[in-house]
Chains A and B, each alone.
Chain A
Amino acid sequence: MVHVRILAATVMLTVSSMASAADAPPGASSCSGCHPATVGVATPVPRLNGRDAAQIITAMTEFRTGKRPATVMDRIAKGFTDDETKAIAAYFAAQKD
């Protein structure tokens, strides 16, 4: 019985590690090149971690259409579809400090 429990624990551990490795949706890992993942970096570029998903989606949509003024985000937002943007926004919204 002990062995069965060890086996079950091993399998569960493996499954949970698989899930964590699959976290970030395509494109999301590039963002922290400019948007700091950690607090306290002296940059005018806002952090995305923990930000409301709808807010990120609106910003990305407006960058893409040109409604919102930008330096570089207008050019970057055009590289992502609505679905990709939604997935990235949900990912950052879930990153709590």
Chain B
Amino acid sequence: MTQTKRIARRLTRRDVMKSAAAAAALLPMPALAQGAAGRVVVIGGGFAGASCARALKALDARINVTLVEASRTFIACPFSNLVIAGMRELTAQQFGYDKVAAAGVTMAFSAASAVDPQGKSVTLADGNRLAYERLVLAPGIDIRWDGLPGYDEAAANVMPHAWKAGEQTTLLRRQLESMEDGGLVVISAPANPFRCPPGPYERASLIAYYLKTKKPKSKLILLDAKDAFSKQRLFQNAWKELYPNLEWVSLSSGGKVTSVEPASKTVVTDFSRHQAAVANIIPPQKAGRVADLAQVADRSGWCPVDPMTFESKQQPNIHVIGDAAIMGAMPKSAFSANAQAKVCAAAVAKLLAGEKPVEPRLINTCYSVVAPDYGITVAGVYRPKDGVLSDIEGAGGVSPIDAPASTRAAEARYADGWFKTITTEVFG
């Protein structure tokens, strides 16, 4: 007879219950009283939210994970600039949630209509109420419809933003396709911060490529509310080499768009008026609507978070990841969103188990395609420092300025590989 059995024989049922209670008290995990690992609700089924939901199930299959997403089809923004330029079809950007569900995530195809941070519950538009121990918000961006005079939802049907992939992407492509050769295309880029910092410049490059090959008498003007932008020298060198039809107007050269007039497709700055055949207005942005429901956005419109766990600095037990969050040096990219999601999942699993999250390291790599066979990157490695995610010094940076064509071609191939890899990890 083992010593355990001898001790056990002397224990009464009441003693056992007492010691069980004592053991439970020692482990700081009230939610796990019945062996359940806890309930996590994730709102938003993009690169951040869907990644986080799957990562949580992979870390601990007993965690009850519900992913709230209104749409049954996700349309990816990365590579949507190629769709606009006619180099790719929108169907290549579309993904469903079957594999997410097969991984054990409960899908709730509905919009969130209310968040109760005190009561720890989410109410859905379909009337269901979901209780949680931890809530992860990945709401992406919303357009600031009050951010640019003249630019409202009706104006976006005439002068598309195409900054959320889908109908807007197709609309901008159709406008370019039906434009007569010789037409003026105007793109307006916003001030920081906004989704996908190199995005407007990749888009300008690819539209310039389309014009050069299909409508050579046409011209593109990129009006910018900034004097500096992501991968600037790389883009500008490529434009000089490839796209004499593209003119970038910086903030200090009068590039800031102050209003738009949809009736005549006119884009107005302090110094000039541009009547466009096609106008692509990339407007000011803010955290997606759900951030307001949960009261996690600050006056900037974005969500401050702890850099260790991405828990909101405004609401306990609510984490914010992806484009909506203020992530310090880390840019608003799909790669960042996916990397943050996995770190957030690990932190949430630790917190549910009553443990202390580990200090993370995160990587971002943003590919931009300037032309077919011409890719460039910016990369960074990040750690929490002074309350925000900061660049690890000496790491990261952009592709070499003087790289040979073979390097540009390799980065274009890697860009394509990256898209396949990340969409497979998240949706495949």
Contact = CB atoms under 8 A, between A and B. Distances in A.
Given A1-B8, A18-B353, A34 B361 contact: no
Q: Is the interface of A mostly helix, strand, loop or mixed?
A: loop
Interface of B: 4-5, 8-9, 11, 13, 16-17, 19-20, 23, 27, 29, 32, 35, 37, 55, 59-60, 62, 335, 338-339, 342-343, 346, 349-350, 353, 355, 358-365, 377, 379-381, 392, 394-397, 399, 407, 410-411, 413-414, 416-418, 420-422, 424-425, 428
Nearest to B416: A43
A75 interface: yes
A52 interface: no
12 contacts: A4-B11, A4-B16, A26-B360, A27-B363, A36-B425, A41-B420, A41-B428, A71-B411, A72-B411, A77-B395, A79-B380, A80-B361
B396 A45 contact: no
Given A7-B20, A78-B395, A21 B353 contact: yes
Given A21-B353, A34-B418, A75 B397 contact: yes
A37 interface: yes
B353 to A, nearest CB: 5
B342 A30 contact: yes
B414 A45 contact: yes
Contact of A36 (B29, B361, B421): B421
A54 interface: no
A62 to B, nearest CB: 16
Q: Is the interface of B mostly helix, strand, loop or mixed?
A: helix
Interface string A1-34: 1011001001101100110111110110111111
Interface residues of A, number: 41
Interface of A: 1, 3-4, 7, 10-11, 13-14, 17-18, 20-24, 26-27, 29-38, 41-45, 71-72, 75-80, 84
A18 B23 CA distance: 16
A72 B414 contact: yes
B381 A79 contact: yes
A84 B361 contact: yes
